[in-house]
Structure 1
Amino acid sequence: MYFESRAQAGQLLAAQVVDKYRYENCAVVALTEGGVLVGEQIAAQLHCVLMMLVTENIDVPGENLSFGAVSQRGNFTYNSEFSTGEIQEYTSEFHGYLDDQKREAYSRINRLIGDGGTINDMMLKDRIVFLVSDALADGAALSVAFDFLKPIRIERLVVATPIATVSVVDQLHVTADELHVLDVKENYLGVNHYYSDNTVPTRKEAIKKISQIILNWR
């Protein structure tokens, strides 16, 4: 399945949830800047807040693999798709490098959060939380989000994304209360492959969209 844009994909997802959640106490949390474009459409239909969980991925050196990610709380969460043995092996081999990358990532996040912030724990408490991305290729971003939400009492966790891999969907059937995926991919070719328009906001532009979501309620 292919989409004109992330906004168009977000409209399709919004159509799936609006009847059920339009008058509920909801909050949309985007996991990426591209996810803000998807989540913006859902939040506009549900008349709810839009936020973004800012994270920084830490990759395994020399490999196109996410070892985990640092959240804006400073917590580091391992990619759930790694086994305990693999985590121990990479940690042992790249210990100094990974520690440096974590510190640098947290510093970058702090500089961004200082510009206005992107998420408010109290605005999530006792709400139905929608985690939204423009694509979920692996469990890395979700692992960070689940870790971030652990200390917050929420009513229900809904995950919505236009595209997800088979492994992610299998994980979400266990970890989410509800799942909305427009297309499940066995052979994932990268997020941009599935959108004709790959214009994605910068983080500052994404924050501006978050602050203006109320103006776009429909």
Structure 2
Amino acid sequence: MAGQRVFADREDGGRRLAEELNRRTWVDPLVLGLARGGVPVAAVVARRLGAELDVAVARKIGAPGRREFGVGAVTPDGPVIYDETILRGLKLTEARMAPAAERERAEARRRLERYRDGRPAPVLADRDVILVDDGLATGVTATAALRDVRTGNPRTVVLAAPVGAPGATAGLLHEADDVVCVAEPPDFRAVGQWYADFRQTSDKDVLDVLRHLGERQD
């Protein structure tokens, strides 16, 4: 697998992931796409499973001066999650990161409100919830999202992605009832390296996917 792309784009990743997930029996399944990049993948999965689709939002908390280097993550309403090993390595404290965490929480709330577009939050209780992302790297953002989903008392929570780092997927088994990845390449460095087309997903893309599937379900 080294040196080659595994998926053409997120839709292709969704088709491959749906094949894996469709082998199971689900109870009143709900598919949550982790915005933004997980939503196009989740839409394909939801169509294949005949499941309801909705959106989940978690925001990475970046290190000072290195916003792309995540030290933690936060959802609109859940607790802040930090990677304690990274915090110690960078000599950071939760108190120092608190302003950045609140900025990201505010952005998460803004995005969720926009994506829901007036729709009520889905019922999670007693359902099999499948949280879908386009890939798993460190796992800190997925951890925040999974813990938030747990508060809704679902029957089970499964985290699913087309590709993931082996260490991240193993670690997330402490948070999810199961983790499903199509590919876990040993030479994983970044999610984007495993897609031929990994263009950024915009807010408009997310809204278009959710509205289109909503029309089909109606």
Q: TM-score, normalised by structure 1?
A: 0.83
Distance 1:126 1:187 in 2: 38
Task: For 1:154-165, list aligned pairs within 5 A.
Answer: 154-165=154-165
1:48 deviates by: 1.5
Contact residue 44 and residue 216 of structure 1 kept, 8 A = no
Task: For 1:16-27, list aligned pairs within 5 A.
Answer: 16-21=20-25, 24-27=27-30
Contact residue 44 and residue 214 of structure 1 kept, 8 A = no
Q: In the alignment, which residue of structure 1 is the partner of 2:93?
A: 91
Which structure features the higher share of helix residues? 1
Distance 1:209 1:109 in 2: 19
Distance 1:126 1:192 in 2: 34
Alpha-carbon spacing, 1:174–1:114, altered in 2? closer, same or farther (3 Å): closer
Encode CA deviations 1:79-122: one digit per residue, 9 max, x unaligned. Answer: 3xx34972894117xx44x2221222223233333435288654
1:128 deviates by: 0.4
Q: In the alignment, which residue of structure 2 is the partner of 1:126?
A: 126
Distance 1:151 1:143 in 2: 13
Encode CA deviations 1:41-64: one digit per residue, 9 max, x unaligned. Answer: 110111222222112211122455
1:37 deviates by: 1.2
Q: Structure 2: 5+ residue runs without aligned partners?
A: none
Aligned-residue Cα RMSD (Å) equals 2.7
Distance 1:110 1:170 in 2: 29
Q: In the alignment, which residue of structure 1 is the partner of 2:181?
A: 181
Q: In the alignment, which residue of structure 2 is the partner of 1:153?
A: 153
Alpha-carbon spacing, 1:84–1:17, altered in 2? closer, same or farther (3 Å): closer
SS in 1 for 2:74: strand
Contact residue 77 and residue 147 of structure 1 kept, 8 A = no
Contact residue 157 and residue 177 of structure 1 kept, 8 A = yes
Q: In the alignment, which residue of structure 2 is the partner of 1:110?
A: 109
1:182 deviates by: 1.1
Alpha-carbon spacing, 1:175–1:109, altered in 2? closer, same or farther (3 Å): closer
Q: In the alignment, which residue of structure 2 is the partner of 1:43?
A: 46
Alpha-carbon spacing, 1:78–1:120, altered in 2? closer, same or farther (3 Å): farther
1:132 deviates by: 0.9
The letter for the 1-side match of 2:123 is M
Contact residue 27 and residue 50 of structure 1 kept, 8 A = yes
Alpha-carbon spacing, 1:110–1:152, altered in 2? closer, same or farther (3 Å): closer
Contact residue 139 and residue 172 of structure 2 kept, 8 A = no
The letter for the 2-side match of 1:206 is V
Distance 1:120 1:167 in 2: 36
1:9 deviates by: 1.1
- Return 101-110 or 83-92, whichever deviates more: 83-92
Q: What percentage of aligned pairs have identical amino acids?
A: 22
Q: TM-score, normalised by structure 2?
A: 0.83
The alignment of Structure 1 onto Structure 2 pairs a total of residues equal to 211
Distance 1:84 1:196 in 2: 30
